[in-house]
Amino acid sequence: MPARLLFTIVFIEGYCSLGAEIIALRRLIPHVGSSIVVTAPTIGFFLLALALGYHSGSRVAANYRAVVARNFLISATLLGGGLTATTVNAIFAGTQVAFAYLIFIGGILCPLAWLLGQTVPILTNLMLAQRSGEAAGRALYWSTLGSFLGSVTLSLLFMQVFGVWAAVLLGTLMLVAGAMLVQRPTPVMAGLLVGVLALGLLLNLRDRERIDTAYADYEVLPVERDGMISPRAFVVNNQYASLIDDGKPPTYARYVQHIRRILLDDLRLNDQDILVLGAGGFSLSHREPLNRYSFVDIDPEIRAIAEREFLREPAIGKFIATDARRFVAGTDKRYDALVVDVFSARTSIPGHLVTREFWNDTRRALKPGGAMLANLILDGQLASPYARNLLATIESAYGRCAVEVLYKSAPRSNVIVTCFAVDAREPTRIYADERNRADLDSARSP
């Protein structure tokens, strides 16, 4: 095989293999989030399958071109059909999350990595070189270069500009082209390649109608709610992020109305600066002219989507497209109130936004005496380890906070935590029968 052709095929393998991993991680976000306990095993399984592919490829002793062409054909099918939003959503629909994750990894991602991993050891048999090390090194160079460019261009260009569907379709097209380059296809093979390409076009062009970006999947769905007029939900990564109806004045999701009541009625904020981490549907500031709102969200497209599809009018407030922790850690401005409403999927808060260091940064972004309100989704009884530890982490930064469970009998409930940036004057004490200072403390308290 000519060197240029061989290196082109190896480049395609590297580009599509790591590209498939990037797309898989993105497709998993709406279902299992993006925490380290999800990304690390996913990367690990991918590398394991890749290593097994290297080993399998080293044992191929004949029909090199035919084997690689077949592998590219099957990989194009797995990529173009298995990594579409329709397929991934079907896998997770009505299935226990852990089991669906294993189906996705074991049935789509790992077989794809295993097949593509065979490419370099197989094709080095067709490379003219004075030394085996030279052949392997040059092939790995082009494969790794392809991996680098695949990860960068798919995540920073195609997903950002066109959507995830475009990244899937590009990988499918490249693998079909690679299969044709490896070996002139027979009529049967040509028919299969055309069929795979048609399947990829059909599924991915249909996905184009979905509202997705490099960060999230979005939908606006009609819902039924008692007492609401034509309500619609803003769904972000399969989670109801916000709710609004056509009433005058509009009715919002219960947790949004609760937070608005705290800010406007309990705290009586007027002409104040309010920072909101996690834009949702921008309903917190909807038709609220009394205060100045600043929204921070990692997805630069979310405001345009919310205005066009959900609010159907311009959102009120300033919008900053960046990571929430990065913003509160670097901002010099101090706010009168701060609302934390950050989720990556269902009930999952990104791991770097639950630590003590993050809550300390939110406190630093507040004016003295400012209020921090956090919308959490926890078990209704606050009995789980996650609920108890998360609340304890917040209070390690703020001291005692108010905790309000909105749906106490539900297995999962919105929990509104309200804290204030005030310093405790002395450490806490436990009242006991032998040493009870309750009356004295009560008399000293305002």
Mean pLDDT of 69-95: 93
Q: For the segment 214-272, what is each residue's pLDDT rounded down to a tens digit?
A: 888 898 999 998 889 999 999 988 888 899 999 999 999 999 999 999 999 999 999 99
For the segment 315-352, what is each residue's pLDDT rounded down to a tens digit? 999 999 999 999 999 999 999 999 999 987 655 788 88
Contact of 138 with 129, CB cutoff 8 Å: yes
Full set of structural domains in the chain with CATH: 3-212 (1.20.1250), 217-420 (3.40.50.150)
Partners of 417 in beta bridges: 374, 403
pLDDT digits (tens, 9 = 90+) for 350-387: 888 999 999 999 999 999 999 999 999 999 999 999 99
Which pLDDT belongs to residue 322?
95
Backbone angle region of 335, left / alpha / beta, with phi > 0 → left and psi within -120 to 50 → alpha: beta
Q: Flag whether pLDDT at 424 surpasses 80.
A: no
pLDDT score at 150: 93
pLDDT digits 0-9 by tens, 174-211: 999 999 999 999 999 999 999 999 999 988 888 777 78
Mean pLDDT of 136-161: 91
Query: Among 77, 27, 80, which Cα is nearest to 200's?
Result: 80
Per-residue confidence (pLDDT) for residue 292, from 0 to 100? 97
Mean pLDDT across 144-165: 91
**What pLDDT band is residue 116 in, cutting at 50, 70 and 90?**
very high
Q: Give the model's pLDDT for residue 347.
A: 55
Task: Report d(CA 233, CA 244) in Å as an integer.
Answer: 7
Specify the pTM.
0.83
pLDDT at 130 over 80: no
